[in-house]
Amino acid sequence: MSKLINPQETIKVIQSNDFKFQKRFGQNFLIDESVLSNIITSSDITKEDCVLEIGPGIGTMTQALAEAAGHVIAVEIDANLIPILHETLKDYSNVTIIHSDVLKLDLNELIKTYNNGKPIKVVANLPYYITTPIIMGLFESSAPLYSITVMVQKEVADRMQSGPGTKDYGALSLAVQYYSDPVIVQLVPPNCFIPRPNVGSAVIRLSRHSVPPVNVENDLWMFKLIKAAFGQRRKTLLNSLFSGAAVPKDATLTALQHMNLSETIRGEALSLDQFALLSDLLIDHCTD
């Protein structure tokens, strides 16, 4: 089977299989060889690695991953792509194709089955409509992961890297930075895909922290406060924690005074360290 990473081969596979792109699955197939090779290099894959690819499409990146890794698990939601993948990947004995919605998979079970529970690497050109649930699901599952190297919408990559006080800063920035060290590897223009997306893209690598950068008594409680704080960005922290996490206003006020912060401060001004401290100070109001 020839390499798919060019427009001609991609179009050939699509036409010969009479494949119809499904917008609802965020299908934009990569056709640029230098971007693909950059993804493979920056994900630092060796023959020792088991890689999870989310959304293999017609198998373009899967071919390159199969050559670099020990084993590749490719999870694809679109039933029409499964027979195509069996054809394009037939020369690779180290690829397992799974027809499933990645959000419904038990990742810990998958890793136990295919990698004896040892950490894996995730590499993907993600479907943009579910980037955040996929990334958060990977982290919150506590599944053993070394790193996540993914193509995402450029705007989302910016949000993952942003710090307090910037317009891109939010719950996603804090979650990604709590669990990992994000680095944008490359910006990718729309003409590197078929069909072209309406937005710019970026490859971002999230290397998982072995130990989180802040100490917090209950991280789920901290994330509940963070979600409440950014749920209504224009409200003060005092009001958003009251309406979004049922924290009494006098308790938030006492905590803010303890932290030398103004009572009119908004969530977007707080760093991860400050959210961790705030969450510990308000731990008595944790209801979960």
Contact residues toward ligand SAM (CB under 6 A) are 25-30, 54-57, 60-61, 75-78, 81, 101-103, 125, 127, 130
**Closer to ligand SAM at the Cβ: 76 or 268?**
76
* Rounded Cα distance, 171 and 225, in Å: 10
* Between 54 and 120, CB nearer to ligand SAM: 54
**Smallest gap, in angstroms, from Cβ of residue 242 to ligand SAM?**
35
Min. distance of Cβ 204 from ligand SAM in angstroms? 14
CB–CB of 89/62 below 8 Å?
A: yes
The whole-angstrom distance between residue 84's C-alpha and the CA centroid of its chain comes to 26
Q: How far is the CB of 134 from ligand SAM (least distance, A)?
A: 7
Cβ closest to ligand SAM, residue 32 vs residue 181:
32
Provide CB contacts within 8 A for 235, sequence distance 6+: 243, 266
C-beta separation of 108 from 143 below 8 A: yes
Spatial separation of the C-alpha atoms in residues 247 and 250, rounded to whole Å:
9
The number of helices, as runs of H, and strands, as runs of E, in the chain is 12, 9
Q: Is the torsion defined by CA of 252, 253, 256, 262 positive or negative?
A: positive
What is the closest distance, in whole angstroms, from the C-beta atom of residue 84 to ligand SAM in the complex? Answer: 10
CB of 24 to ligand SAM, least distance (A): 8
Instruction: Confirm if 178 and 219 have CB atoms less than 8 A apart.
Output: yes
The closest residue (CB) to ligand SAM is: 55
Of the two residues 117 and 133, which places its CB atom closer to ligand SAM in the complex?
A: 133
CB-wise, 28 or 240, nearer to ligand SAM?
28
Residue 27 corresponds to which tokens in the numbers above?
């299908």
Whichever of 25 and 146 has its CB closer to ligand SAM, that residue is 25
Contacts of 108 (CB under 8 A, 6+ apart): 117, 141, 142, 143
Q: How far is the CB of 90 from ligand SAM (least distance, A)?
A: 18
Measured from the CB atom, is 49 or 76 closer to ligand SAM?
76
Q: Closer CB to ligand SAM, residue 125 or residue 236?
A: 125
228, two tokens: 């409440």
Burial of 194: CB neighbours in 10 Å, binned 0-12, 13-18, 19+: middle
Least distance (Å) between residue 182 CB and ligand SAM: 20
Tell the burial category of 220 from Cβ atoms under 10 Å away from its Cβ (0-12, 13-18, 19+). Answer: exposed
Provide the minimum distance between the beta carbon of 86 and ligand SAM in the complex, in angstroms, as a whole number.
Answer: 15
